[in-house]
Amino acid sequence: MKRTELDRKERDLRKEHKRLLKESTRENSKKRSKEQSSVNITLKTAYDNLINIFEYDEEEIYNIHKNNEDLVEILLEMQESFEDKDVAATIRKAIKRTRIKNKEQAFKAVYALLE
């Protein structure tokens, strides 16, 4: 065989190898995106759910206790899905949205449910 033919075959082999690598990375990225989308809670939905669950007036939030299954369920989903700093920030934002006076006390009570 001539050198040009050998070079051409090498190029073809490299192209084929490169194409196979790209296909495998695409498949892996699709799998990862499916896994990430299987998490059905986002920070925004968790925030909205917390606001909807809280029963409050100007002074305090009343339904922060372990017997409130809905609240505990949302908090546990958040804890499984997100980092602690994101969970804490979301809880703080939801409490801030209620505009109660004792925000720090309410945060400590809600965060204690996670422990």
Tokens in use for 74?
Answer: 């949302």
Longest dimension (CA), the chain: 89
pLDDT at residue number 107:
93
17 & 68 share domain = no
Same domain, 27 and 67: no
Q: Are 31 and 82 contained in the same domain?
A: no
Domain count, the chain: 2
pLDDT at residue number 3: 86
The pLDDT assigned to 41 comes to: 75
The residue range of the domain holding 13 is 1-38
| Shared domain check, 73 and 17 | no
DSSP for 4-72 reads HHHHHHHHHHHHHHHHHHHHHHHHHHHHHHHHHHT----HHHHHHHHHHH--B-SS-BS--STT-HHHH
User: What are the φ/ψ torsions at residue 61 (nearest 5 degrees)?
Assistant: -100, 130
Q: Map residue 99 onto helix, strand or coil.
A: coil
Same domain, 57 and 95: yes
Q: pTM score, two decimals?
A: 0.63
Same domain assignment for residues 103 and 61: yes
Per-residue pLDDT of the chain (115 residues), as tens digits, is 788 888 888 999 898 988 888 887 777 766 665 555 445 578 899 899 999 999 999 888 998 988 889 899 999 888 888 889 999 999 999 999 999 998 999 999 998 988 8
67 with 93, same domain? yes
DSSP state letter for 115: -
The pLDDT of residue 51: 92
